[in-house]
Amino acid sequence: MEVKLLAEWMIALGVFWETVFQHPGAKWAGIVFSSMMIVMLVTFRHHWGDFVPHHLYSMIVLLFVAGFDYLSGVWWSLWIYLITLGVLHDRDSTKKTVLSTLLFFGVYTLLQYGFSISDSFSDVLNAFLLFLAMTLMTIYLRRARARTEKIKEQNRRLLEKVDEAHSRLHEYIEELEETSRRDYLTGLYNFSGFQEQVSKSLARCSVAGQYYYVICLDLVDFQQVNMKEGINAGDQMLVQIARLLKKKLPPYAQVARYDGDQFAIGLTGDDSAMRLCLDTIETVIGGLRTERSLMNYCIGTASYPMEAQNESELIRLAEHRLSIEQRRIRHQEEERRRHLEKLSAVGQLAAGLAHEIRNPLTSIRGFIQISAMESPEVKKWESIMLPEIDRINDLLKQFLHLSESRPARYTLFNVDRLIDDVFQLLQPKAILMGHELKSYAPTSPVIIEADAEQLKQVLINLVQNGLESLQDKGMVSVRWKEVRDRISIRIQDNGSGIPPEYMSRIFDPFFTTKGDGTGMGLSICHRIISEHGGQVHVTSQPGRGTTFNIHLPIRQAGKKEREQNQPEQETPALSKLNRSEVVERVNMLKNF
């Protein structure tokens, strides 16, 4: 029934076209128009097909193909049907393609043969076979295209995976390269990584006309930290220094660690950036110095482009200057060792001198007193001779303090009470001199194991020196606190300070800048602190004051071990030294 209606519709349409296109010009115009519409509909099928349902779009194309076939009457119109069918349904499903093939075949058969199919059965069969072949080819091409698209999609995914693998491999290589440029302990750059960063920075600075600085830092006492506190404590200290440097330095600064305890810093900027970096280093090391007494450092610097033209010259110059500082510090250590040897020799000499001088001095003092009672001539000189003899006796007492070799009596005591006793003893003198004594006690009491009398002697000496250095109305302050397993005591004054040329000699015996001084006080203090396993550091600025920093261990558990490891040195008894031995020791002292 539907086929009959379609046939009647096509016949009516043919009659309409035959009526309209009877004139030859109109007929050719219809052929050209149909051809153009077929080409446009087939060419833009993917664009226009989105606005028209697919089956309706196919009917419109078939209408113009049928019109072309009817008006032209050419024998090759069959190929127009076939090509249009194949192109139009290249992406449709098999069902739609088969239905469209039957429809195209039906229209072609009706227009070519009408209803007398039996008369041209062979031609109709050939046409059907061609339509069937085109349909099969279209289905095959569609499936081939689908497989091709699928393969392309798989290839695309494989390419994405390959690209992702390449990206991960590149990141892994970069991570390995970055790891090779980093220090395993602190995460800072190692030496080769630092050289690479300096080279890149110098390239940027040469273009921008900026300055670049390299600072090499060496921890002088790091080996002693490892020996006394262990390797783990040393590693923790290095990590802490690295973290503080990265935190406090500008973000554009490059920081490296190499050769165990050496750091290198590179930064871009002017002199103010350089000073900021040096102040930061002092702040970091100074903060750690409150926790550990063994914390000193030296630095070497170099600048680009004033002093070097490339990264190797720049780093080499900074390291050369660092080595100079290291040699200077080693020389100071040797001087300190010689100073200790000198103290030992002076102590033995003092013991002999005290024995040889005090006995006849006591006899002289007694004879003067007896003679003064019997002779008025001697009486008038008694007031001059006796004070001078007493002054000699006081000097001999200080010699004995320096040479005193009795073992320290270690006890547990409260440092707060000890410093209170020192203040009560010296407070009247400070008031008479018009100065102020001030103490800054910690929040909790500090208990230490030490010789209380010796430590009290050290504090009295240092506070008294501070009072004597004050001018006008000044102040001496004492601060102390417990830091881990050590105690830190700071004696600070705002007096006249110590001249720089005297700083290296203040702990030498007999060296003094006071008119009536003996030069024995600081030597005795240095000996006592050293025997307690501590250290004393001094900083001074002329006109601004002096600060003594004392670091002592809280407990003396390792004292016996140190005494066992030290070679035994016999100090002759005072009564066993004769004059020849004293002379020999005086001659030995002259060699220092």
Say yes or no: 229 and 350 in one domain.
no
The torsion angles phi and psi of 183, rounded to 5 degrees, stand at: -80, 135
Whole-number percent of the chain with pLDDT over 70: 76
- The answer to the question of residue 196 being in a domain is yes
Residue 157's domain comprises 25-180
Say yes or no: 61 and 144 in one domain.
yes
Of the two residues 19 and 170, the one the predictor is more confident about is: 170
Mean pLDDT of the chain: 77
Query: How many structural domains compose the chain?
Result: 4
- Of the pLDDT bands very low, low, confident and very high (cuts 50, 70, 90), residue 570 is very low
- Of the pLDDT bands very low, low, confident and very high (cuts 50, 70, 90), residue 382 is confident
User: CA angle at residue 24 from 21 to 30, to 5 degrees?
Assistant: 50
Residue type, 134: M
- The answer to the question of residue 424 being in a domain is yes
- CATH code: domain of residue 390: 1.10.287
Q: Answer yes or no: are the C-beta atoms of 181 and 192 closer than 8 Å.
A: yes
Of the two residues 511 and 294, the one the predictor is more confident about is: 511
Say yes or no: 149 and 230 in one domain.
no
**How far is Cα 140 from Cα 162, in angstroms, rounded to an integer?**
32
Say yes or no: 392 and 512 in one domain.
no
Say yes or no: 175 and 205 in one domain.
no
Q: Considering 274, 309, 344, which residue would you say is the last residue of a domain?
A: 309
Residue 306 is classified by DSSP as T
Res 516: pLDDT: 61
- The answer to the question of residue 3 being in a domain is no
The Cα diameter of the chain in Å comes to 183
- The answer to the question of residue 374 being in a domain is yes
Say yes or no: 249 and 358 in one domain.
no
Q: CA 322 → CA 220, 297, 316, 397, distances in Å? A: 11, 10, 10, 45
- The answer to the question of residue 329 being in a domain is no
Say yes or no: 209 and 268 in one domain.
yes
Say yes or no: 262 and 353 in one domain.
no
Q: Answer yes or no: are the C-beta atoms of 58 and 91 closer than 8 Å.
A: no
Say yes or no: 166 and 204 in one domain.
no
Task: Find, among 529, 528, 588, 515, the residue nearest to 346 by Cα.
Answer: 588
Q: Considering 180, 211, 238, which residue would you say is the last residue of a domain?
A: 180
Say yes or no: 375 and 432 in one domain.
no
Task: Find, among 3, 107, 88, the residue nearest to 46 by Cα.
Answer: 88
Mean pLDDT, rounded, for 552-576: 51
Say yes or no: 36 and 144 in one domain.
yes
Beta-bridged to residue 488, according to DSSP, are: 481, 551
Beta-bridged to residue 258, according to DSSP, are: 262
Give Cα 71 to chain centroid, integer Å: 89
Give Cα 577 to chain centroid, integer Å: 61
For residue 457, what are its two tokens? 């002697």
- The answer to the question of residue 2 being in a domain is no
User: Over the stretch 439-487, which tens digit does the pLDDT of each residue have?
Assistant: 998 888 889 999 888 898 899 989 988 888 888 888 999 999 988 778 9
Mean pLDDT, rounded, for 346-373: 73
Say yes or no: 422 and 521 in one domain.
yes
- CATH code: domain of residue 541: 3.30.565.10
User: CA angle at residue 338 from 337 to 339, to 5 degrees?
Assistant: 90
Q: Is 539 helix (H, G, I), strand (E, B) or coil?
A: strand
- The answer to the question of residue 487 being in a domain is yes
- The answer to the question of residue 320 being in a domain is no
Q: CA 320 → CA 315, 326, 515, 591, distances in Å? A: 9, 10, 43, 34
**How far is Cα 130 from Cα 78, in angstroms, rounded to an integer?**
9
pTM for this entry: 0.46
